[in-house]
């Protein structure tokens, strides 16, 4: 399969499986047709779950050495197909090619990281009595289901698939409707290196059909979801109905808190990147700018100037900012910008002018900075999912913490200060799963536990902690 193939099908049990009906895959930069996608549903999901269950009977007995070798080999073949994978990712999502290459590299890194660390993951011996030998085992759940968002297809499914396979599970993935191609290609590569047929399966289709069927399937023993808080709640209900565990990575409204002693010039590039990366369609985007009163004017002026220099265009041409995922998302972002009350748009807020003729129909929005936003307003509270940052001011540390914690979300935050005592003090008080100081990681690296507080979800992906999410503890007590 490559970027020229015109139809994308499900991949089940090591084979491509077309569906009777299809839908169009649309290029968000031009609105043009990229090809057809098989519209899988309950039948394909059932077939995929059964294929995974058969494979799991073999895979759960595999040694950690065997799993390690196959995972590391998968990383190698991902890198060997780096150009192709990046092109697929850029075309489907619209993201700049540099960012698409980064996503391929991170996907490979997940397989490499978990391939290296699984051999060091084990249970514990528990001291009890002289005539008792007690120990714990970490065992796989069985078949894991994964429903992921369209903003980082390869990264999101890569971390889920690598963790699930490393711990002895087999998996069924449902990629987002808009971005199926790189996930299907990943399934081909995983199968090619020697995993059991059906160890990793992909069902393409609509979330309301294939996704709902996967969440409700009785053969799924563990669910993972990345997406909106609203849909995450539905996934949690589906998991609760069958009493199975789930990991939810949901929305965010992450804050950059800039104190008066911050190195503003050093901060500006990170502040801008945190909101334009992937066109702001990132759950951990730095979408709130909380600035000390005495540096507010300077930060806003320099941030606006930097945002006005951002280049915009077709992802394959590798600008700084590509299109949103769809014209529907473009209209949604514009809806937020039409409802800002007494706040002021300092820069951006429009569809860009002067684009090449073939990009005029693309889903573009200029980088946008909205100042003097009311903390309780819709645009300050809800996830816009576009290249939009809202600015507000604070007087003292207590107010800064209150503003940072003043939404339903708690995924990522960053503190910009030269005062190390303040950094530790505020980091302890801000309610978020990751806190950065004088940098912004937008989710951080493969090695860092990632997940949310409050309505940003629960459970942790990435890092060795993810192994605990994908295994269950068995305690064995032996009387000697």
Q: Are 94 and 315 in contact (CB under 8 A)?
A: yes
**Nearest alpha carbon to residue 147 among 170, 165, 173:** 173
Assess whether 119 and 45 both reside in one domain. Answer: yes
Assess whether 57 and 32 both reside in one domain. Answer: yes
Nearest-10 Cα torsion for 333, 336, 342, 345: 0
Q: Is residue 452 part of a domain?
A: no
List CB contacts of 396: < 8 A, sequence separation 6 or more.
none
Assess whether 278 and 398 both reside in one domain. Answer: yes
Query: Whole domain around residue 391: which residue ranges?
Result: 255-445
Beta bridge partners of 209: none
Q: Is residue 399 part of a domain?
A: yes
168: phi > 0 → left, psi -120 to 50 → alpha, else beta; which? left
Residue 272 belongs to domain with CATH number: 3.40.309.10
Assess whether 288 and 419 both reside in one domain. Answer: yes
Assess whether 367 and 281 both reside in one domain. Answer: yes
Assess whether 211 and 320 both reside in one domain. Answer: no
Residue 437, classed as helix, strand or coil, is strand
Q: Is residue 450 part of a domain?
A: no
Assess whether 155 and 175 both reside in one domain. Answer: yes
Assess whether 333 and 293 both reside in one domain. Answer: yes
Tokens of 90: 């850029």
Q: Is residue 451 part of a domain?
A: no
Number of Cβ atoms within 10 Å of the Cβ of 290: 26
Nearest-10 Cα torsion for 226, 229, 230, 233: 80
- Per-residue pLDDT, 444: 67
Q: Is residue 2 part of a domain?
A: no
The one catalytic residue in 209, 249, 431, 461 is 249
Residue 228 belongs to domain with CATH number: 3.40.605.10
Beta bridge partners of 461: 450
Assess whether 245 and 338 both reside in one domain. Answer: no
pLDDT tens track for 303-348: 999 999 999 998 989 999 999 999 999 999 999 999 999 999 999 9
Assess whether 176 and 261 both reside in one domain. Answer: no
Which residues in 27-85 belong to E strands, given as ranges? 33-38
Q: Is residue 245 part of a domain?
A: yes
Check if 249 is active-site: yes
pLDDT tens track for 419-458: 999 999 999 999 999 999 999 986 668 999 999 999 999 9
Nearest-10 Cα torsion for 97, 15, 163, 285: 30
The distance of Cα 401 from the centroid of its chain, to the nearest Å, equals 26
- Per-residue pLDDT, 443: 61
Residue keyed to tokens 């190390």: 420
Assess whether 243 and 262 both reside in one domain. Answer: no
- Per-residue pLDDT, 442: 66
Q: Is residue 396 part of a domain?
A: yes
Total tally of structural domains belonging to the chain: 2
For strand 409-410 and strand 453-454, is the pairing parallel, antiparallel, or unpaired? antiparallel
- Per-residue pLDDT, 386: 97
Residues of the chain with pLDDT under 50: 1-5
Distance, in Å, from the CA atom of 45 to the CA atom of 217, rounded to the nearest integer, reads 8
Assess whether 212 and 275 both reside in one domain. Answer: no
Q: Is residue 1 part of a domain?
A: no
């Amino acid at each position: 399969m490559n970027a020229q193939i015109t139809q994308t099908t499900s991949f089940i049990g090591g084979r491509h499986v077309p569906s009777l009906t299809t839908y169009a895959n649309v290029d968000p930069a031009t609105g043009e047709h990229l090809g057809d996608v098989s519209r899988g549903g309950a039948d394909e999901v059932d077939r995929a779950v059964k294929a995974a269950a058969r494979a799991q009977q073999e895979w759960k007995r595999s040694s950690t050495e065997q799993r390690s070798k196959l995972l590391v080999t998968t990383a190698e073949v991902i890198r060997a197909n780096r150009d192709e994978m990046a092109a697929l990712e850029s075309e489907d999502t619209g993201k700049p090619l540099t960012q698409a290459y980064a996503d391929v590299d991170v996907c490979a890194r997940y397989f490499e990281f978990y391939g290296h660390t699984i051999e060091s993951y084990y249970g514990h011996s528990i001291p009890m009595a002289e005539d008792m030998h007690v120990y714990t085992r970490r065992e796989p759940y069985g078949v894991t289901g994964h429903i992921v968002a369209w903003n980082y297809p390869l990264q999101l499914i890569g971390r889920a698939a690598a963790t699930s396979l490393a711990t002895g599970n087999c998996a069924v993935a449902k990629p987002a409707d808009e971005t199926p191609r790189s996930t299907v290609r990943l399934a081909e590569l995983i199968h090619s290196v020697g995993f059991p047929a059906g160890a990793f399966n992909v069902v393409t289709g609509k979330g309301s059909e294939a996704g709902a069927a996967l969440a409700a399937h009785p053969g799924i023993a563990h669910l993972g979801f990345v997406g909106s808080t609203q849909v995450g709640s539905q996934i949690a209900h589906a998991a609760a109905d069958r009493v199975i565990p789930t990991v939810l990575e949901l929305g965010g409204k992450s804050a950059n808190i800039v104190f008066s002693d911050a190195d503003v010039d050093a901060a500006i590039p990170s502040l801008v990147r945190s909101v334009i990366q992937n066109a702001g369609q990132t759950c951990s985007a730095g979408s709130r700018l909380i600035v000390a009163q005495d540096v507010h004017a300077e930060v806003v002026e320099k941030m606006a100037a930097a945002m006005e220099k951002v280049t915009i265009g077709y992802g394959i041409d590798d600008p700084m900012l590509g299109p949103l995922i769809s014209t529907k998302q473009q209209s949604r972002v514009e809806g937020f910008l039409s409802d800002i009350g007494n706040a002021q748009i300092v820069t951006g807020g429009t569809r860009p002018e002067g684009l090449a003729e073939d990009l005029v129909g693309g889903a573009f929005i200029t980088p946008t900075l909205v100042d003097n936003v009311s903390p309780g307003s819709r645009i300050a509270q809800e996830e816009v999912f576009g290249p939009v940052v809202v600015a507000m001011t604070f007087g003292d540390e207590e107010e800064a913490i209150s503003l940072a914690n003043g939404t339903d979300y708690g995924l990522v935050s960053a503190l910009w200060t030269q005062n190390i005592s303040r950094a530790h003090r505020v980091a302890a008080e801000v309610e978020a799963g990751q806190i950065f100081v004088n940098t912004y990681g937008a989710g951080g690296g493969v090695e860092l536990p990632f997940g949310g507080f409050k309505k940003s979800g629960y459970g942790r992906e990435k890092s060795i902690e993810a192994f605990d999410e994908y295994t269950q503890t068995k305690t064995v007590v032996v009387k000697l």
